[in-house]
């Protein structure tokens, strides 16, 4: 049974480890290639796991692996809300 790193985007630990063993050592690139952290929870449940896996597989500390750039919005927002649409529940 696969171990999921990112349940929102269905990314498994095996996929992540394969990329690391293929030479991906940059946390930002690993995020982009796997899409980890780009789902509805915006990485709240998975980015820390991704850092730990990269650290474990490379022998680095999590601090040496570095931080992942989080982009706004952190919480899911409807496109209509950004466009100024008013929802009935907000009235």
Residues that bind ligand FES (CB under 6 A): 6-9, 36-37, 39, 41-43, 45-46
Closest separation in Å from C-beta 37 to ligand FES: 5
Token output for 45 = 């449940």
Q: How far is the CB of 47 from ligand FES (least distance, A)?
A: 7
The nearer residue to ligand FES, 20 or 45, going by C-beta atoms, is: 45
Query: How far does Cα 69 stand from its chain's mean position?
Result: 10
Gyration radius of the chain's alpha carbons: 16
DSSP conformational letter for 23: T
Per-residue exposure over 34-46, b if at least 16 CB sit within 10 Å of its own CB, e if not:
bebbbbebbbebb
Q: Name which of 24 and 36 has its Cβ closer to ligand FES.
A: 36
Closest CB to ligand FES among residues 40, 85: 40
């Amino acid at each position: 049974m696969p171990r999921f790193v990112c349940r929102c985007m269905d990314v498994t630990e095996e996929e992540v480890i394969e990329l690391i063993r293929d030479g991906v050592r940059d946390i930002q690139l690993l995020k982009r290639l796997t899409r980890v952290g780009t789902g509805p929870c915006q990485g709240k449940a998975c980015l820390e796991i991704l850092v730990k896996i990269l650290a474990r597989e490379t022998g680095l500390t999590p601090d040496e692996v570095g931080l992942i750039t989080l982009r706004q919005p952190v919480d899911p927002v409807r496109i209509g809300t950004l466009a100024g649409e008013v929802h009935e529940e907000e009235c």
